[in-house]
Amino acid sequence: MFRQATIFLLILTTLTANCSRFFVFAGFELNKKYIVSNLCENRNRPYLHCNGKCYFMKKIRQAEENEKKEAAKDNLNRLEVSLFHEPFQLSFPAPVLLTGIEQSFPAYTYQYSNRYIDTIFRPPKQIA
């Protein structure tokens, strides 16, 4: 139950932060009569046919300014919290060429002999 409530709260706050203009518009449409009669700047001049749009535009500007301020705060927080580490560099040692050293492996010798194997298998011949 606690987990579901937490998830719901996080989703709600994310939507509220990202859709603030939508909530302003929805609030304007739901309370249009009240805004026109009480909050509109041009309520005394009905010939302008404002119908509360001046109040609506003022609230939209406030919401945009709030979003810009929050975005600036987010950018500052991202700059403050940063991880510093040296980049990982993969390096391989240079190959060493062995010159002047005799081969320590014995020459190829085939110790086992069988007539059947001799007819099928023929080992490679040394060229040098």
Domain ranges of the chain: 2-80
Q: Which amino acid is at 113?
A: S
Non-local (6+) Cβ contacts of 20 within 8 A are 63, 66, 67
The CA angle 123-127-128, to the nearest 5 degrees, is 130
Cα first-last separation, the chain: 83
Rank 40-44, 92-96, 123-127 by mean pLDDT and report only the highest: 92-96
Q: What is the pTM of this model?
A: 0.45
pLDDT digits (tens, 9 = 90+) for 56-73: 888 888 888 888 887 777
Measure the CA–CA gap between 37 and 21, rounded to whole angstroms: 22
